[in-house]
Structure 1
Amino acid sequence: MQKHEDRLLREEEKLDQEMTLFSVKMTQTDDNGPQNNIKNIHEEQDLPYQHVTDKHEMSVSEDVTVFKQDSEEDYADHKLPEGGNVHAKVSENETSEKAVADWEDDYLWYLWNTFSIISMIRFFRKYLRKNSQMKQDEARTLPMTGIAGEVPLPDSDTLQSFHSKYVKVSPNMKWREDEFLEGFANHMVEAMRTVCDRNGGMVIDDWQMLDACEIIVPFAPPEPFSFQCLLWNNKVGGLLPDMPVCGQIKVVENKKIQNGCPCLSSDMDDDMVCLLHCENEKRKTKTTDVCDGLLCLKNTSFLSKTQVTRWFQSTIKQAWALISHKYEFELSICHIGAPGALVVRFRSGKKVIFTMKPVVKFRDAHFYITPCSPNSLDTFWTLSLTIYEDHLLQCLSKRLPENSCHIQTLEIARFLHKRQTALSGSSALKDFHFKTALMHLLLTRDPSLWKPDYVACRVRDLLDFMERSLEKKLLHHVFIGNPLTKNIIHLPVEFTQANPVNLFHPLVVHNCIYRNALMHFQEMLRNAHMLIHDYVGKSI
């Protein structure tokens, strides 16, 4: 509207200037007298519009000066006896032109407002239509309550046969694979220690196999340096889907406090014996942060996941170069973003895929690197409580009936999830979510319900629990802030006194992640019956 008012003001100024030009022509006199003026006025009236426009483009200051001079001369020396008629005609033309100009301006103004109103109406209609379409799509995507309870699963005997033939790994195959990985991991870790000793880098501790094809390799800085773990509870979980519980790892230096005794000197001879301090007496130390320490983020004292990934991959390559002549297969890194994602390729074409993860020990838990994490979270490490979880399952198994079906239930659900991932791709729903759901059921259900012939009911219970958790976007961590586990296993105080952690918190923060996980789970439920019967039908 402001632009429109400015344009109207400019049009009014234009009309005033045109009136000034007509007045100048009317008042100018020459030797021929008033008749020539009248003739000139008629000639001016007969000129086309373009001629008036060209005169309008003359300098405004020049027109004003001429108008003043001629006006004074006209009023002093000239009076037109018949000028009244001339002025009347000119006034009528001017009034008519002004009326036409005003009508054009009003027309343009109404046209502009009409166009603006129509545009606003179209915009709101388009917005409302799009919003309605999004709500309809969301309504079609959201699950109906009780879908998991209506999945037509086979009976318990069929599920047990399905599990033993297609889900459970053959003991002989598992033993051969584990034996190979154990021997290879021993050689690799020893070679990596040799490389680190040469470079004066990190110290590699004893490795440990947590699960099938998953090996963790703890590391620590050389003395007098050490790691200090800072646990973060529910603070950045929404920023990274695979980081519900995380922490930062600070590199610190443990400096001995000198009290004047030579025995505390770092260059003291080993053969020297101090009569003032016994060997078992603790020496006082002072801990200070190490800025720009080994593998730390620049200008900080926090361990960088990017730096550790590069160091670990380089160490693996150097260690393999030392021992590769002993083996008749190829070793390569299959994921550049994961520090220890390895694949062994035999000459026969067989492949063994496994991981060797660099981890930092924290009590009986450990921090590890989540692949493809944002650069802004380069110093935040994911906390794994796998060792505590396995210990909890062992304790709960002692309460269950003989040959209980809880492991079968978990492995069948994981198998369905794995097959659905192969069909539709990965989602935020992971294996540890099903494991967490199972542990919640074991903590809250009667132990007698886990008899071997109840496997069909328990699989349905597990799927129903996951469905309700997805609907609520709520799945609590089984240890952190959960009082039910305090009396079963011993946990560090950092976990028992912490606030409960929602493993589905990323689904609350990011709706796109939630919709993807929801669609993934829905498709898994729809395909479960068909998938199981296809496998069972092959064995008939």
Structure 2
Amino acid sequence: MQDTLVRVFVVAAGLLLCPRDNPGVEEWDDAVDEDLQKHEQMLLEGEEKLMENETSEKGIAKWERDYLWYIWNTFSIISIMRFFRKFLKRNFKTDLEETRISPRRSPEVSLPDVETLQSFYAQCVQASAEKMLREKGFLEGFANDLLEAMRTVCENNGSMLIEDFQMVKERDIIVHFAPCKPYSVRCLLGNNPVSDPLLYMQVCGQIKLLKEEKVPNGCPCQSADADDMVCLVHSESDKAKTKVADAFNGPLCSKNTPFLSKSKITRWFQNTVKQAWAQISHKYEFELSIRYVETPGALVVRFKSGKKINFSLKPVVKFNTEAHFCITPWSSRDVDTFWVLSLSVYEDRLLEHLSKRLPVNSCRDQILEIAFFLHRRQEALTGKTALKDIHFKMALMHLLLAKKTSQWQPNFATCRLQDLLSFVEESLKRKHLTHILVGNPLAEVTGLPKEICRAKPVNLFHLFVEDDCAYKNAVMHFQEMFQNAHMLIHEYVVQPRAVLNICYAS
């Protein structure tokens, strides 16, 4: 009886896991039908024989038991074969998918020689940089005018205050903001108990909103409507005691917490930009619009001539005089109160420190700017991905520590660019790129706070471990960028006038 139940279970599992309408297993169904027909014929022949020989009831029972044993064994074997066929098919599809998105560069694709690369850098990369410097003056003046209008808007609604701004790049502007009195903020570094890729690929923290409150002493002169009251106990020079408490459900805080919400800050900042632009738009002959709803301050200026300038106006909170908390994409709502700590000032300082030992006119700046240019050009063609400039800069700093100083001569530009792209490619393949500052005690030479130098190292590519879609897009982006690099560089060097507008447009 137990053997029969086991066989019934195997048959049922096989039929459930491998339904009849699944393509590729119809041949097994045909085989089953043929076996059943044979067994039915054998049953008829057996009945005739039994009728003729008039066998005993004991013999009939034994024959039926043998027949059932034969049927169940046949079904069990077929079901097991169909089950393993389905299992192997699924594994095969998974292996194909992993192989398809694995970063593999074509071996026949190579970079141009040093002379061609240097010519491309001088004629295209530097020319584009000079154009962006001219645009920097325009953006600086426009941002100053726009932020002044934003300050007026914030004074009217009384939620937050717009402070100073700073151009960290030609098209990247950070705007410091702070809460209105009696509120203040306290920046906290720490780890979130919620599992999210953002917390493993950056240094994160929370921004707690605090409120200064009066400590009641029981006197009516401290009540809210005591402005016209004269107190005979407390003189005007007596200051009421105050305390600082967590502002639960404060302005722009996450629900039931005292921590600033990134989503609410994003909506507040975008609405402030729209209201400020409505006040000053009559002074300009162009349009201003938001590029990405999810990213605060991702703006684009469109002129009547068709020309456009993309730039970013990012709201940030000061951590110290050189670092700030900012809002980045590629994070879920589970970490809405966790902000990324930008270490760009310390990264640039370390890059300069490592470059002091390099030869004069080294190829460091050249290859990094070319990598940035190719990356941004590919983004203009296929769109944004999780692969950013910081990843190329971080890979370069790893190479500066690994390579000898003599290997950074100007005539090694092609080799070092090849090394840089190969390093990024290998890091993509392993889905691992370590931030060179975080968790590195030697980074204290840059002035980085000790709690960050001694923190747990972070993997800048941890997002790719968690998000297959983001990983696939980044791999395809990198592969196309490398394949297009040779063509773009040669086309510009051979026909500079024809490609001039393309380089400027990027």
How far apart, CA to CA, are the structure 1 residues paired with 2:3 and 2:256?
A: 53
Conserved 8 A contact 1:330-1:344: yes
Secondary structure of the equivalent of 1:536? helix
Aligned to 2:325: 367
Partner of 2:438: 480
The correspondence for 1:222, drawn from 180, 187, 197, is 180
Q: Paired residue for 1:129, among 86, 89, 93? A: 89
Which AA in structure 1 matches 2:160? M
Q: 1:240 deviation in Å?
A: 3.7
Match of 2:394 in 1: 436
Q: Which runs of 5+ in 2 are unaligned?
A: 9-52, 228-234, 498-506
Preserved CA contact (<8 Å) 1:148 1:463:
no
Partner of 2:206: 248
Contact preservation (8 Å) 1:204, 1:220: yes
Change (3 A) 1:108 1:498: same
Deviations 1:142-192 (A, max 9, x none): 457xx6998522222211111122223446522331111111111111111
Match of 2:278 among 308, 312, 321: 321
The AA in structure 1 aligned to 2:285 is E
Structure having the higher Rg: 1
Partner secondary structure for residue 186 of structure 2: strand
AA at the equivalent of 1:346: F
Cα distance change of structure 1 residues 253 and 180 upon mapping to structure 2, 3 Å threshold? same
Preserved CA contact (<8 Å) 1:238 1:505 = no
Of 341, 348, 351 in structure 1, the residue corresponding to residue 305 of structure 2 is 348
1:350-386 per-residue CA deviation (whole Å, 9 max, x = no partner) reads 1111111111111121122223632222112222112
Which residue of 2 is the match for residue 304 of structure 1? Answer: 261
> Which moves more between the two structures, 156-165 or 423-432?
423-432
Q: How does 1:401-480 map to 2 (within 5 A)?
A: 401-422=359-380, 425-480=383-438
Residue identity opposite 1:131 in structure 2: N
**Map of 1:162 onto structure 2:** 120
Residue among 287, 290, 293 paired with 1:336:
293
Q: Structure 1: where are the runs of 5+ without partners?
A: 9-91, 278-282
CA gap 1:477/1:396 in 2 versus in 1, 3 angstroms = same
Tell me whether 524-533 or 360-369 shows the greater mean CA deviation.
524-533
Matched, 1:521 2:481: no
Deviation, structure 1 residue 223? 2.2
Task: Return the letter of the residue paired with 1:185.
Answer: A
What is the distance in 2 between the residues matched to 1:240 and 1:217? 22
The one-letter amino acid of 2:147's match is: V
In 2, are the aligned partners of 1:480 and 1:495 still within 8 Å (CA)? Answer: yes
Which sits farther off after the overlay, 502-511 or 428-437?
502-511
The C-alpha deviation readout for 1:72-125, integer Å capped at 9, x for no partner, is xxxxxxxxxxxxxxxxxxxx99977x9879967875675355334312311212
Q: What are the Cα deviations for residues 486-509 of structure 1, in whole angstroms up to 9, with x where unaligned?
A: 22x211122112121121222334
Q: Is the 8 A contact 2:116 2:490 kept in 1?
A: no
Cα deviation for residue 457 of structure 1 reads 2.1
Aligned to 2:247: 290
Matched, 1:533 2:490: yes
Q: Provide the aligned length of Structure 1 versus Structure 2.
A: 441
Distance across 1 between alignment mates of 2:259 and 2:192: 19
Larger CA deviation: 329-338 vs 199-208? 329-338
The reply to whether residue 357 of structure 1 matches residue 314 of structure 2 is yes
Distance 1:352 1:427, change over 3 A: closer
Q: Is the 8 A contact 2:197 2:463 kept in 1?
A: yes
User: TM-score scaled by structure 1?
Assistant: 0.71
Amino acid at match of 1:252: L
- Deviation string, structure 1 residues 14-48 (Cα, Å, up to 9, x no partner): xxxxxxxxxxxxxxxxxxxxxxxxxxxxxxxxxxx
Which whole-Å deviations, capped at 9, do the CAs of 1:431-470 have from their partners, x for residues lacking one?
A: 2100111122234434443333332122122123223333
Once the two structures are TM-superposed, the CA of residue 138 in structure 1 deviates from its matched residue by: 3.7
The answer as to whether partners of 2:201 and 2:458 remain within 8 angstroms in 1 is no
8 Å Cα contact 1:420/1:524 also seen in 2 = yes
C-alpha distance in 1 between matches for 2:443 and 2:186 = 26
Higher relative CO (Cα under 8 Å, sequence separation at least 6) belongs to 2
Residue 164 of structure 2 aligns to a residue whose secondary structure is coil
The 8 Å contact of residues 103 and 428 in structure 2, kept in 1 or not, is answered as no
Q: Give 1:392's match in structure 2, choosing from 350, 368, 374.
A: 350
After superposition, what is the alpha-carbon deviation per residue over 1:209-252, rounded to whole angstroms, capped at 9, x for unaligned? 11121111111111232112222359768534995222221111
Structure 2 Cα separation of the partners of residues 2 and 292 of structure 1: 63
Contact map agreement 1:237 1:505 (CA 8 A) in 2 = no
Q: Which secondary structure state, in structure 1, belongs to the residue aligned with residue 122 of structure 2?
A: helix
Further displaced range: 232-241 or 428-437: 232-241
- Report the RMSD for the aligned CA atoms in angstroms: 3.8
Cα deviation, residue 3, structure 1: 13
Per-residue deviation, residues 331-352 of structure 1 (Å, max 9, x unmatched): 1112111121111111112111
Q: Indicate conservation of the 8 Å contact 1:416/1:528, yes or no.
A: yes
Pick from 208, 211, 231 the counterpart of residue 189 of structure 2. Answer: 231
User: 1:46-125 maps to which residues of 2 (within 5 A)?
Assistant: 107=67, 110-111=70-71, 114-125=74-85
Alignment match, 1:51: none
* CA distance in 2 between partners of 1:504 and 1:160 (Å): 31
